[in-house]
Amino acid sequence: MTLIIDGHSFHYEIENLCRIFFPYQQIKVTTELCEDNILAYTGVKTQPEGLLITARLKVDSYQKEISCFLNQQESADIKEQKRRMEILLFELFTDYCGFTPKWGILTGVRPVKLLRSLIARMGEEQGMDYFKTQLLVSNEKADLSFITMHNEEKILSTLTPDSFSLYISIPFCPSRCSYCSFVSSSVEKTINLIPKYLELLCKEIQHTAKVAAGLNLRLQSVYIGGGTPTTLSAEQLRILLDTISGCFNLSSCCEFTVEAGRPDTITSEKLIALKRGGVTRISINPQTLNDSVLKTIGRRHTTAQTLSAYAMAREYDFDNINMDLIVGLPGDTVESFISTLNRVIALSPESITVHTLSLKRSARIFQDENEPFSKDAKAADQMLDYADDQLLQNGYVPYYLYRQSRMVGNLENTGWAKPGFESPYNVFIMDETQTILACGAGAASKIKDPNSDCIERIFDFKYPYEYINRFEEMIIRKDQVKAIYDKFCGVPK
């Protein structure tokens, strides 16, 4: 696919809009007029009394062009230029593909945060109206965002300038899912790295604790993710958890989550280690309860193992369990997803996170790259509509929501929880309203200015072997945390 940018600088936003409709296409961006089987032209031309904005779409025999005019006052607003350009191209794409994504022209990760800022600036009524009419967000997605925003606010109100959360990365999995884009390695290939990785991870945790203590930061939540943290043995989990509890003051910690993730990694010994280590919340993630779909996506566990792991966790008194499901998995149907959701709701976990499949180009396994994904989008949309309706009816509330690139139907991921069982960490990380100190391969610390929305990031090395081989170099990076806080707080060097 070729995208022509003519007379404007909205390259990033327009390219993302193209990906909503053609997520598997390589997009060539150029300022030169040319031809291609799939061609999107976007142009801004100066006129005596304003700007002429034009969009043109050509897909094989389909070809259509539309334009709009902005007067001089409208032309002075760059954001308005961009919005009008996006609306024109959106109209062409929806006409060609035959479906209208419910998030309209939004391509960003955090629509709820955007809605909050609109309401803060315009008031509730005008902010919601702008969200719907000017950004083309559907009524149902606008309402979902509004409800989620209010549920988030209860959690965000607990923040203080000195609070922070801790993220620990365990980038190992029993096998790699066919749709995965995370930095994780299968145990079969990397098992020999785990002991050294854990040893150095504990050292990084100890160093990070000293940095946090030196800044008088107060730990509010701990989240161990990956990968699959329960890929570690029970003894390795004990060592990790003992390190955390020995280094950090957990008295103000309102959440300690471990992603148990793959049901086939859960054993009674590991559950005992988690319980004794102070873990208050775990995830047991089926993704689907359809065994044939599990096989297709490379998950080596079965539905029976999911149900067994869940029952075992209840036996060991875990009273805050999350379960992840994915909409749009290859081979799944609307009927199959409905069956999965109904069975999971019947288990009554404290929270259910419903993700929409996001396929990166490296995970492209089922699609003809020349086809828009309207067929998958319609099925995924039906699945999400059913999930939203049933979860609300069964006492769950949406408390955080985010989106990724190349999501089927340009849809969303939503965390649902029974009231009182929301995960604060999920809200903090998605809303970017708190410092997150992160340890482990692929982890990124986000240092939040207590007095503004400014964030600075410090990245750990991406892969376990890099993390191990360049550990001392990476530890030095952690000392930047104090320097960043000093800069934010106006402390002279």
Domain that holds residue 253: 154-478
- Each residue's pLDDT tens digit in the chain (493 positions)? 999 999 999 999 999 999 888 877 889 999 999 999 999 999 999 999 999 999 999 999 999 999 999 999 999 999 999 999 999 999 999 999 888 999 999 988 999 999 999 999 999 999 999 999 999 999 999 999 999 999 999 999 999 999 999 999 999 987 666 555 554 555 556 789 999 999 999 999 999 999 999 999 999 999 999 889 999 999 999 999 999 999 999 999 999 999 998 899 999 999 999 999 999 999 999 999 999 999 888 888 899 999 999 999 999 999 999 999 999 898 899 999 999 999 999 999 999 999 998 866 544 454 445 555 555 788 899 999 999 999 999 999 999 999 987 788 889 999 999 999 999 999 999 999 999 999 999 999 999 999 899 999 999 999 999 999 999 999 999 999 999 999 998 776 5
278 shares its domain with 423: yes
207 shares its domain with 74: no
25 shares its domain with 165: no
222 shares its domain with 91: no
320 shares its domain with 411: yes
Record the pTM.
0.92
172 shares its domain with 57: no
Single residue among 82, 98, 114 that ends a domain in this structure? 98
Give a yes or no: residue 124 inside a domain: no
50 shares its domain with 162: no
Single residue among 33, 64, 98 that ends a domain in this structure? 98
> In whole angstroms, how far apart are CA 13 and each of 87, 108, 132, 304?
12, 9, 19, 44
Give a yes or no: residue 107 inside a domain: no
CATH of the domain at 178: 3.80.30.20
272 shares its domain with 206: yes
CATH of the domain at 7: 3.30.160
279 shares its domain with 161: yes
Q: Are 266 and 312 in contact (CB under 8 A)?
A: yes
| Overall residue count recorded for the chain in this entry | 493
Give a yes or no: residue 139 inside a domain: no
CA distance 412 to 428: 18
87 shares its domain with 204: no
Single residue among 76, 98, 120 that ends a domain in this structure? 98
379 shares its domain with 281: yes
The rounded Cα 160 to chain-centroid distance in angstroms is: 24
Give a yes or no: residue 109 inside a domain: no
Give a yes or no: residue 405 inside a domain: yes
Domain count, the chain: 2
281 shares its domain with 373: yes
